[in-house]
Amino acid sequence: MQYAVPLEPTILVIFGAGGDLTWRKLIPALYNLHLDKLLPERFAIIGVARKQVDDEAFRRRLREGVDLFSRRRPAEEESWNRFSTHVSYLSEDFSDPASGPALSQKLEELERAWGVRANRVFYLAIPPDMMEAAAAHLQRLGVCRDCRRDRLVVEKPFGRDLATAVALDRLLSGMFAESQMYRIDHYLGKETVQNILAFRFANSLFEPVWNRRYIDHVQITVAETVGVEERGGYYDNSGALRDMVQNHLLQILCLIAMEPPISFDADEVRNKKVDLLHAIRPIRPEEIHHSAVRGQYGRGTADGKAVPGYLEEPGVAPDSTTETFAAFKFFIDNWRWQGVPFYLRTGKRMPARVSEVSILFRSAPHQPFPSAAVENWQPNRLIIRIQPEEGIVTRIQAKQPGTRLLLGPVDMQFRYRDAFSTAPPEAYETLLLDVIRGDATLFMRADQVECAWRIVAPVLEAWESVPPGDFPDYPAGSWGPESANLLIAREGHNWLQPTMPEERR
């Protein structure tokens, strides 16, 4: 989030360099930063993983990833060759306490050649159960001792629940200062998610109506068409609540509902988010089924093709009770939001890949129009479209052209692709650059992560102790189980059809 700060020499060490994240996201993001000349002049990437491969084989595999997943693909020969000279590989089993000092030697060699002590960024792109070993390895090597220069990037999920998150935090904070830690939630790097703050706080138009007086309720939908892909093993131990709600959806909720920050200092913004999380009304055990529902997809269709149910996916236990859909109703106990329901839902194998926030305004207090004129009337709606068609839509009522007085909804649209000529960077580009710059605004602080776990903890516990009786309960290609409709119907609401590119109403 900072601008024009000269970048210091940096070495990025990726633990878990053989994994999917490095291949699909991290290296394509770094390659794009290289294309945009945003990386420091003296920059090196060291991939660390157990497998024995040489630098050349490692680079070849990374290039395939760039060819497949980079926003500017395929890789361009000359640029890739230049970029790949910064990349090397180290085969190391960091979980073995006897593993040698190869990493520290490599870091020192590079720094000797550059003639400076570089900033060192250690990116833990590894499952939560390996974090402890990786952190202990770094501590043993003593390579991460400079609080200003050395940084640790931790991928989500940060723990499996409140207790494990607290334990992991205690462990890491015994080794590293909070200022060294960058806990990633990649949704915070998305251009449209960051724009929520700009939209709310750089315009004076919306703040006066951004409260219980004018807003009836808010819906946040993060829907995916994909199933669990090749990640069945991970996902089956996680589920929609841990994978999406505890982090991505609650972060979006924070940005929509938080109070205005005094400045864009990392801690000021994060304080305001923590305040908001504290204000979310705790879900009482006896109210869980009124506040949260889960679902699991069965066989159905995706993009017009027949697809298997969750229980048939590779890596998934055939009797799994893991949820692939979750919906929540939250209330926020503060002056601004008292009594306004916030509905959140997310699921795999939904009919569309669409993430958006719908703000539903209250009806006009008095309707002066004849009843025939307002048959088609709808409340005002503001839609923040996070993806795929990034933008903001304001739905207002207009008089339909003609001799009769007839009102109907029309949309005022702001679309990123029309308004700006440059393609927005991928979330990981923004986040990696922020780590390199040392700006933690878009990263989660320990207390934020813990608050988020505390909010979902009663539901997590209830779902773990009472297995669902009716899974699978929604067909792939649908908007989730009927229980999600009932959850929100109780308050007199219904889920709004997200605005899809081909269908705007």
CB 116 → ligand BG6: shortest distance, Å? 35
Instruction: Kindly determine how many residues on this chain lie close enough to bind ligand BG6 according to the rule CB under 6 A.
Output: 2
Site string for ligand BG6, 389-418 (x = CB under 6 A): ------------------------------
CB 316 → ligand BG6: shortest distance, Å? 14
- In the block, tokens 């960091």 appear at 94
Residue 473 found at the interface with ligand BG6 (CB under 6 A): no
Three-state secondary structure call for residue 411:
strand
Contact 369, 249 (CB under 8 A): no
Q: Which two tokens stand for residue 345?
A: 């839902």
Contact 416, 424 (CB under 8 A): yes
- C-beta of 222 vs 383, nearer to ligand BG6: 222
Residue 224 found at the interface with ligand BG6 (CB under 6 A): yes
CB 224 → ligand BG6: shortest distance, Å? 5
Q: CB-based contacts of 405: which residues, under 8 Å, 6+ apart? A: 369, 370, 373, 399
Shortest Cβ contact with ligand BG6: which residue?
Answer: 243
Q: CB-based contacts of 162: which residues, under 8 Å, 6+ apart? A: 450, 453, 454, 457
Q: Which of residues 117-156 bind ligand BG6 (CB under 6 A)?
A: none
* 456: enclosing H helix or E strand: helix 446-465
Site string for ligand BG6, 226-255 (x = CB under 6 A): -----------------x------------
- C-beta of 360 vs 431, nearer to ligand BG6: 431
- C-beta of 224 vs 313, nearer to ligand BG6: 224
Please, what is the angle between helix 27-35 and helix 55-69, to 10°?
Answer: 80
Site string for ligand BG6, 172-211 (x = CB under 6 A): ----------------------------------------
CB 190 → ligand BG6: shortest distance, Å? 7
- C-beta of 243 vs 450, nearer to ligand BG6: 243
What residues are annotated to the active site?
A: 248
CB 437 → ligand BG6: shortest distance, Å? 22
Please, what is the angle between helix 446-465 and helix 162-175, to 10°?
Answer: 150
Q: Which residues bind ligand BG6 (CB under 6 A)?
A: 224, 243
